[in-house]
Amino acid sequence: MSGGIDLHLHLDGSITAEDAVYLAGSSGVDLPTRDVSVLRGLMTAPQRCADLKEYLKSFEIPLLVLQTPENVAYAIRSLVKRLKVSGMRYAEIRFAPGLLTAGGASQREIAEAACGAFGAAKGEFGFSGGLIFCAMRAGALSDEENRETALTAAEFLGKGVVGIDLAGDEAKDTPSDHAEVFAIAREAGVPITIHAGEAGGADKIRDALALGARRIGHGVRCVEDEALVAELAESGIALETCYTSNLNTGACTERTFPLRYLMRAGVKVTLNTDNMTVSDTDLDTEYARLGITEEERRILLDNAEKAAFAAVTD
């Protein structure tokens, strides 16, 4: 998409099968198969998953091959190159450094490699954007590891990092269970976005806003609370909606995905890919699947540019 902007894009969910095979070979990781077509199937979620938990299973292979700073750097450069070739001009790529330390690297070492690779790729390909570090919901990372993520995001803010997020299975807890993480982020001036209102209800969105979220990842279940929709419109909080992945996880159906309703309500909605490989999509495909008109496209991209955590350049 010429001039495309993606504010909600997971690194691990967007690694190609070809890159996974290469990275496994470079780091001695055993994969279930090295047949790219078979591997791609394992890395792609069913069109209709039983729930978010089933969707998240497709991240297992990408996480296996992202356990060294060198592999993280390679994956980021490869993704930026693909985005640029597809006509994108800006993306915020997110991942959880705390999930990438099994190879012995610290979160800081992962962050340093990621920021260096992203900065170099921006210069090489004429791209703009930044990295968002994800804290993880209960069970995926400990409180101590999540605090380390917040401190690492603060250290690298302005050096590649543009924000912090909370990701993972939304059913497991509420954003306020991670209040200390976001207190660290607010104190350091790190912009906050939080996955909320996808597998969880509108109350999770309100909880995220109370922690200082400037954007909400997904947020589609805000429609369950008309007062919340009005508050989102009034405050200018942007929603990072992701159509195909919401169909995959069952958060929405083709009929209930509320993009146009929210646009009419004045909410600053954006349209994003979420996971290019896991959901077998790209930004052009997202716009095409929804039949987005030129006027709607203009509004969505304008919303995205205004909501971006860094400067969007041509």
Lowest mean pLDDT among 7-16, 31-40, 44-53, 132-141: 44-53
**Residues acting as catalytic residues:** 198
Q: What is the pLDDT of residues 126-146, one digit of tens each?
A: 999 999 999 999 789 999 999
Reading the block at residue 301, the tokens are: 């991209």
Residue 3 above 90 pLDDT? no
Q: What is the pLDDT of residues 168-178, one digit of tens each?
A: 988 889 999 99
Per-position DSSP letters for 223-262, written without gaps between them: GG-HHHHHHHHHHTPEEEE-HHHHHHHTS--TTT--HHHH
| pLDDT in the model for residue 22 | 97
Q: What is the pLDDT of residues 65-74, one digit of tens each?
A: 999 999 999 9
The CA-atom distances, in angstroms, between 212 and each of 116, 201, 228 are 28, 18, 15
| Cα angle 193, 301, 222; round to 5 | 45
Residues 66, 72: contact at Cβ < 8 Å?
Answer: yes
Q: What is the pLDDT of residues 242-298, one digit of tens each?
A: 999 999 999 999 999 999 999 999 999 999 999 999 999 999 999 999 999 999 999
Q: What are phi and psi of 163, to 5 degrees?
A: -175, 175
| Cα angle 217, 223, 224; round to 5 | 110
| pLDDT in the model for residue 2 | 67
Cα separation of the two ends of the chain? 13
Residue 125 above 90 pLDDT? yes
Residue 220 above 90 pLDDT? yes
Residue 1 above 80 pLDDT? no
| pLDDT in the model for residue 51 | 79
| pLDDT in the model for residue 138 | 78
Per-position DSSP letters for 38-53, written without gaps between them: HHHHHTS--SS-SSHH
For residues 196-203, average pLDDT: 94
Residue 6 above 70 pLDDT? yes
Residue located via tokens 């999770």: 204
Residue 52 above 80 pLDDT? no
**Category of 266 on φ-ψ map: left (φ > 0), alpha (ψ -120 to 50) or beta:** left
CA 130 to chain centre: 12
Residue among 224, 207, 243, 216 nearest 307 (CA): 216
| All residues at 6 or more sequence positions from 2 whose CB lies less than 8 Å from its CB, including other chains | 87
| pLDDT in the model for residue 82 | 98
Q: Alpha-carbon distance 109 to 144, whole Å?
A: 17
Confidence of residue 314 (pLDDT cuts 50, 70, 90): confident
3-class SS string, 173-231:
CCHHHHHHHHHHHHHHCCCEEEEECCCCCHHHHHHHHHCCCCEEEECHHHHHCHHHHHH
* DSSP bridge partners of 10: 94
